[in-house]
Every structure is written in C-alpha cells, then in structure tokens.
Amino acid sequence: MNLEMQRFKAEFFKALAHPLRIRILELLGEGDKNVNELQTLVGSEGSAVSQQLQVLRAKNIVSGTKEGNKVIYTLKDPMIIELLAVAKQIFNNHLVDTITILDKFKEDEEEPVTPKN
C-alpha cells in the first residue's frame, strides 16, 4: 500500500514539474478558463498551453467541460492551490536561509584581519 502511495506522489509531482503547468494551475485557481484565456494570460502559443493541459488532464489534475465550441478547464481539487502556496513558502524559507548565509559571508569579509604575533 505504501509503495502505491509513493508511486502516486511521484507521478503527481512529475505532472507539476513544468513552469507553464504551474502557471496554468495558478490561473485556474483564480477561476475556470478556456484555452484562449489561458494563452492570453500566460503569453504563450496555443499549442504549448494545450500540450500542458493534456498532461494535467491525463493526471486528473484538471478537467475540461465542453461549452459550445470551447472547453472550459477547472481544477479537479482546489487543494492544488494550497499545495502551490506551501511550495512558495518552502521557496521563501530557502531564500531566507540563503540570504542569511550570504549576509554572514559578507560580514566575515568585512571584518578586519588582525595579525598574530
């Protein structure tokens, strides 16, 4: 059972492992959108957005509903937005740690070296 969960998680995170897919999910977190709306918002070609939406659909992360001649995309689970927010917080934590280390190096470089007798 544990191995199945680990495989699910690995496949799930693989599906998130593309900057354009992350951006699409962030935009869908603001509300449902069709491909044209997503293209405009991300400033990307339709084929790129469509390809990434196919990956997200195949992994059941988003769903599409046909409305007239358009397909409206929605998040299958709104907790995706919470997951992305946690990822952002982890990034910020790492950034703070990196800045702290850099500040320490800077302080060490600024300290005068006193010769030993």
Instruction: Please report which residue ranges of 17-78 form alpha helices under DSSP H.
Output: 19-29, 35-42, 46-58
- Residues 58 and 26 both lie in one domain: yes
Least confident of 11-20, 27-36, 52-61, 97-106: 97-106
Report the domain count for the chain. 2
What Cα–Cα distance (Å) separates residue 29 from each residue in 19, 61, 63, 79, 98?
15, 12, 13, 9, 30
Q: Are strands 62-67 and 70-75 parallel, antiparallel or unpaired?
A: antiparallel
Range of the structural domain that residue 97 is part of: 78-112
- Residues 63 and 83 both lie in one domain: no
- Residues 2 and 34 both lie in one domain: yes
- Residues 72 and 84 both lie in one domain: no
Q: Do residues 25 and 84 touch, judged by C-beta distance below 8 A?
A: yes
- Residues 48 and 30 both lie in one domain: yes
pLDDT 10s digits, 24-67: 999 999 999 999 999 999 998 769 999 999 999 999 999 999 99
Domain containing residue 16: CATH number: 1.10.10.10
- Residues 38 and 70 both lie in one domain: yes
